[in-house]
Amino acid sequence: MDVVVTGIGLVSALGTLDDGWKRLLSGKSGIRHHQPFLEMEPLPLALVGTKPADLITLIRQVLADALQDANLTLPLPDCGIAIGSSRGFQANLELLASEGSSATDCVTDVTDGRKTEVERSLREFGRGKSQKAREFPITDSDFPIPNSQLPITNCQFVNFLPHMGAIAAARAIGSTGPVLAPMAACATGLQSIARAVDLIRTGECQRAIAGAVEAPITPLTLAGFSRMGALANNGCYPFDENREGFVIGEGGALFVLESAELARRRGAKIYGRVSGFGLTNDACHANAPELGGESAIAAVNQCLKRSNLAAIDIDFIHAHGTATELNDRHEALLIEKLFHPGIAVSSTKGATGHTLGASGALGVAFCLMSIKYQMLPPCVGMKKPGFELDFVRCARSAIVRNAVCLSFGFGGQNAAIVLSGNR
């Protein structure tokens, strides 16, 4: 069964889908030096706004944009949900631990937001439910907190469990279908899309909303990656000879996936097909790839096999390309080994920053835009290539029938997905 993409909602430091795509093609970057926390030195970051974003706010925005793009109206009771986030509500939890109940002041409901037609529908539908059904009626006495010094009232932390972003999206669209919330480090976005494709192909639903969103700019996240030596001091330069690490970014992308039959029946526009995917795990190291790359190679081969394609059929690779020493070397070797010389390669993290679990979702969106416009996005930030590959230095036109998006995450998570033009 063919599974097609009929709607895209995206937000990153470059902007929303169309504006971000134009800025990407022109070689712009959304990375700037910021100091979001006074106790920390300024760092290059890729913020959507002027200060760190809230996860629910980002989910609300891309969900509304995806539904509007797909020309869908609410409710969607049988729609599946597969929305992941590797960081989830970590920002809220850090604030909750340090400031208590005031942490919830910054949280907005997924049904609030901008006054577009779709978002009004989201808001009105969400408010149509009884207030009782929308609360967690558990008192302090029902759920005592062992550490009385942590000033958490009621069960506020339940609102910040990792899967609550996906649940909020389901509530907003009125879905009582399956809800999945994958977490697979930087491979989260591709895993979420893969799981949604499975939901459709197995007949559990004919339509699903899938992707990943991250609001990862928190003191703990920045301090942790800084202590690891993974963060750049100046900027993000994927596959560059003088790359210095990644730049954390926020944002995400959600997709409306449908069976091709349903999409054609309702006359929906189609960006392309999810031809196949491959998912493996190194079972080797927490934050370094397997030296031989066998599991990563297996993921790509699995993806090609399920897509009924050979490596020679791939026209463009959207690489993970984090600009770290290990990842870029590992990924370049994999590409050299599996694909034909001269295949176009790009990483867009020099423009959007590394959105962690959402990075694969952004990559899929850019692959679909490449197929739609027959244009290849540049490897923004590259000055001197560090590897003998055909990197896209400037945006260029090309025949793009099949594109591969790659993601590699901590814990040895490997993911590959093929996007193809509509049949």
Catalytic residues: 186, 320, 354
Residue-level pLDDT at 152? 52
Find residue 146's DSSP bridge partners. Answer: none
Averaged confidence pLDDT in the chain = 89
* CA gap 220, 227 in Å, rounded: 10
- Neighbouring CB atoms inside 10 A of 399's CB total 8
Contact 334, 289 (CB under 8 A): no
- Split at pLDDT 50, 70, 90, the class of 386 is very high
Q: What is the rounded distance in angstroms from the CA atom of residue 6 to the CA atom of residue 270?
A: 5
Residue 229 sits at the vertex; the CA angle it makes with 29 and 85, to the nearest 5 degrees, is: 60
- Only one residue has tokens 């990792």, namely 162
If pLDDT is split at 50, 70 and 90, which confidence band does 153 have?
Answer: low
Between CA 359 and CA 213 the distance in angstroms is: 9
Distances, alpha carbon 8 to alpha carbons 175, 199, 279, 362, 376, in Å? 19, 19, 23, 10, 18
Q: List pLDDT tens digits, range 45-70.
A: 999 999 999 999 999 999 999 999 99
Residue 104: pLDDT band (50, 70, 90) is: low
Q: Span 324-338, mean pLDDT?
A: 96
Regarding predicted confidence, which is higher, 423 or 19? 19
Given a cut of 50, whether residue 141 has pLDDT beyond it is no
Determine the pLDDT at residue 148. 41
Q: Which residue has the higher pLDDT, 423 or 129?
A: 423
Arithmetic mean of pLDDT, 289-294: 81
Record the tokens describing residue 256, joined without a space: 């409306």
210 pLDDT more than 70: yes
Q: Which amino acid type is present at position 292? A: G
Q: pLDDT tens-digit profile of 225-260?
A: 999 999 999 999 999 999 999 999 999 999 999 999
- Inter-CA distances, 201 with 113, 151, 177, 197, 260, Å: 33, 46, 15, 6, 11
